[in-house]
Amino acid sequence: MAGILLLLAQALIYFGVMALLFRLRHVMGLGVFLCALGVMHFLETYLAAVFFIQLPFGLLSPGSTVLFSGKLAIILLFYIREDAESVRQPIYGLLVGNFLMVALVMTLRLYGAPVALPGYNPDLVLIDQMGALMIWGTTLLFIDSIALILLYEKLRRLLPHATVLRACLSLAVILSFDQLCFFVGLHAVSGTPWDALFGGWVAKMGAAVVFSALMGVYLLLAERNLAEVAPQPLADVFHKLTYRHKYEELLGKSGQDALTGALTRERFETAGPALLSRAALLRRPISLAIIDVDHFKSINDRYGHIIGDEVLRRVVECLRLEIRAEDRIFRYGGEEFVVLCENMAHPDALAYAERMRVAVHATLAREFAAAPTISIGVATFPSDAQTIRDLLAHADAHLYQAKRLGRDRVVGNAPEIRETAG
Q: Could you read off the pLDDT of 122-173 as tens digits, one per residue?
A: 766 667 777 788 888 889 999 999 999 999 989 988 888 899 999 999 999 9
Q: What is the pLDDT of residue 244?
A: 61
- Please tell me the predicted confidence (pLDDT) of residue 227: 59
Domain boundaries, the chain: 2-112+123-238, 259-411
pLDDT band at 21 (very low <50, low <70, confident <90, very high): very high
Sheet holding 374-381, edge to edge: 328-331, 336-342, 286-293, 374-381, 410-411
**What is the pLDDT at residue 77?**
93
Q: Give the model's confidence band at 228: pLDDT under 50 very low, under 70 low, under 90 confident, else very high.
A: low
Q: What is the pLDDT of residue 144?
A: 94
- Which is higher by pLDDT, 92 or 214? 214
**What number does CATH give the domain 259-411?**
3.30.70.270
**Spatial separation of the C-alpha atoms in residues 85 and 249, rounded to whole Å:** 15
What pLDDT does 419 receive?
44
- Determine if residue 304 is left, alpha or beta; phi over 0 gives left, psi from -120 to 50 gives alpha, anything else beta: left
Structure confidence at residue 273 (pLDDT): 92
> What does the pLDDT read at residue 309?
93
Which one has a higher pLDDT value, 251 or 337?
337
Vertex 403: Cα angle to 400 and 407 (nearest 5): 145
Cα(303)–Cα(369) distance, rounded to whole angstroms?
Answer: 9
Compute the distance between CA of residue 359 and CA of residue 352 in angstroms, rounded to an integer.
11
CA 157 to chain CA centroid, Å, is 19
Indicate the pTM of the whole model.
0.59
Lowest mean pLDDT among 204-218, 234-248, 344-358, 393-407: 234-248
Provide the sign of the torsion angle of the four alpha carbons 329, 312, 353, 362, taken in this order.
positive
Task: Report the length, in residues, of the chain.
Answer: 422
Q: Is the pLDDT of residue 240 over 80?
A: no
Average pLDDT over residues 57-77: 91
**Predicted local distance difference test score (pLDDT) of residue 249:** 59
Mean pLDDT value across residues 284-289: 95
The bridge status of strand 374-381 relative to strand 328-331 is unpaired
